[in-house]
Amino acid sequence: MAIMEHASFGYQVTSFYAVWSRHGNLEELKELVDVAHQHNLYVLLDVVHSHASKNTLDGLNMFDGTDACFFHSGSRGEQSLWDSRLFNYAKYEVLRFLLSNLRWYIEEYSFDEFRFDGVTSMLYHSRGLGQGFSGHYDEYYGLNVDVEGIIYLMLANHMLHEIYSEIVTIAEDVSGMPGVCRPVTEGGIGFDYRLAMEIPDKWIKLLKEVNDDDWKVGDICWTLSNRRWMEKAVAYSESHDQAFVGDKTIAFWLLDKEMYTHMSTLSSHSDIISRGIALHNLITLITHTLGGEAYLNFIGNEFGHPDWLDFSRIGNADSYHYARRQWNLVDDELLKHKYMNNWDRAVNMLEEKYGWLQGYLSWKHEDDKVIVFDRDDLTFVFNFHPVKQPESFSAFLQKL
């Protein structure tokens, strides 16, 4: 993330072919990718082709002295929510510029995958602002649909998959437009995966507003399994929206101030810590196994990082105090962070062994708070009840 030269947070791109110099030079980025490949890791690049910085001195805005060189002129060329400029995808020069940008990062730096940021803004003239997207088809096939934006995404995916057979593309789309993750040859937009952005939002909403004794398992199952047939999703329990200042991470919601006093294995017992770690692990497992066809950890989520993320800015007096992750916590044998990290590792190792795919939800019981589903050759049984192990649950386990 935040690789291209930008003005703010990595999403206000000013120079699409330049690497952000504060992270290092070009050769160091190439070395990073090479070392990752030596360890059999794929490297995914966050691509921002949905909008561009308004900067005129170091960006594309007013490049030829007008507001219409790369962008739509007037209000159509303004993204009001992000205070940025919107590309005019009907121009051949814009298509050449953006498509070449994708090839540049593959051929020059050997990136393996692209995550397209802000796809919802590219799909609709409304930019998705003020829309709830209930799933009705008239929301996706009316005059609000930006055909030019859709055609660019189809071209991009067609070109990438045609030239680079191993490439993977992921769409950040909250609207659930049908066909986003179906091949262009079928009339789809051509992405391989869509980010299941509603899942982390659901977990944080539950943690904020509902006591975990009162969680509705049917509601949880609906959110985790609500995706279009044959369109793959990347599931994740926590995202940057939760881990940045303005909210709290899942671990912070569950453990709160006890995290600073009772995370040592030598400290006195804390019901809050024990219950929080158990729920954190349950959230990880059920999201991983039911939420999609791929899984994402957000830096530190795998071991319950105690703090939020915050970049240096005017609002925090240009402080870098929270602009980091404390990776040392997971390596400290005296801290309970290892229990969450070991669980996360075990879940990923299990998936590596069995490679579970599309899930089948076979049973959910609201009063007992039990959820049962199959993925691949595995059956998963979850009991979200804080104290109850119902007889029906025990009997079901005996049948397995």
How many residues are listed for the chain in this entry?
400
What is the model's pLDDT at position 21? 82
The listed range with the strongest mean pLDDT (39-43, 135-139, 313-317, 320-324) is 39-43
- Residues of 70-104 as b/e, b for ≥16 C-beta within 10 angstroms? bbbeeeebbbeebebbbbbbebeebbebbbebbee
Number of domains in the chain: 1
Given the residues 117, 192, 198, 293, the one annotated as active site? 117
**Edge-to-edge strand list for the sheet holding 44-47:** 44-47, 113-116, 168-171, 193-195, 233-235, 294-295
Q: Which of 5, 146, 172, 231 is catalytic?
A: 172
pLDDT in tens, 43-57: 999 999 999 999 999
For 310, the domain range is 4-360
What average pLDDT is seen over the chain? 89
pTM exceeds 0.85, yes or no: yes
CA distances for 162 relative to 154, 157, 158, 189, angstroms: 12, 8, 6, 14
8 within domain boundaries? yes
Looking at the domain assignment, is residue 166 inside a domain? yes
**Residue 394 scores a pLDDT above 80:** no
Per-residue pLDDT for 237 more than 90?
yes
117 included as an active-site residue: yes
Q: From CA 128, how far away is CA 80, in angstroms rounded?
A: 11
365 part of a folded domain: no
Q: Is residue 383 part of a domain?
A: no
In a domain, 377, yes or no: no
CATH of the domain at 31: 3.20.20.80
Q: Is residue 333 annotated as part of the catalytic site, yes or no?
A: no
Give the tens place of pLDDT for each residue, 325-335: 889 999 999 99
The answer as to whether 392 is a domain residue is: no
Residue 378 placed within a domain: no
Contact 14, 53 (CB under 8 A): yes
